Structure 1
């Protein structure tokens, strides 16, 4: 079992950045990057369980299918959020607790985009 380490992503935080944006760039994005392979594997598993074959779809429809999963399947969304939130420190979780709906929206948006951008890894 290899130990995962949260990457440091620089150049994402500017002076005019809101608290949530700062949290997104300092915490959420590095965790999502660290969890990339798990997120891809879990999406592959999701498609397999539901007998969804992306390879027969044109690119735009593949992207639409990914979006619809993140819009409609609450169980999958909650599992995905768990993959990310589970890596928060206590302080990060305290911030998350205050702004959970905004943070959840951002997490799901970023993960959805990441899966679309990595669609070749999913097929």
Structure 2
């Protein structure tokens, strides 16, 4: 890493932009599919055509335990993107997704209280409640 002031913060922001931003995209996409009664169809298609993405969706089952912490981080990332002349809207949307998740019926969950037996479809149904 270079020694410029802000490099470590920039790395942290861009790393989280990818990892946590992707989590928001997965959750929002699944919640949207559920809204249109297409969740099972989407999951079946992803399992068939994008098995690696399908496997990654498992992370959505624990997103309720982290969403409340990630709202502010997405807003900071949005500011970082804006400062670097890139659109901040992607991560503003991620912050909104995490805000919705945090206020859902399972938004109170924490890592040690997640229902580990809950299926992804059940999680998404609860996030959309």
**Fold similarity call, TM over 0.5:** no
Point out which structure has higher relative CO (alpha carbons under 8 A, 6+ apart): 1
Q: TM-score, normalised by structure 2?
A: 0.31
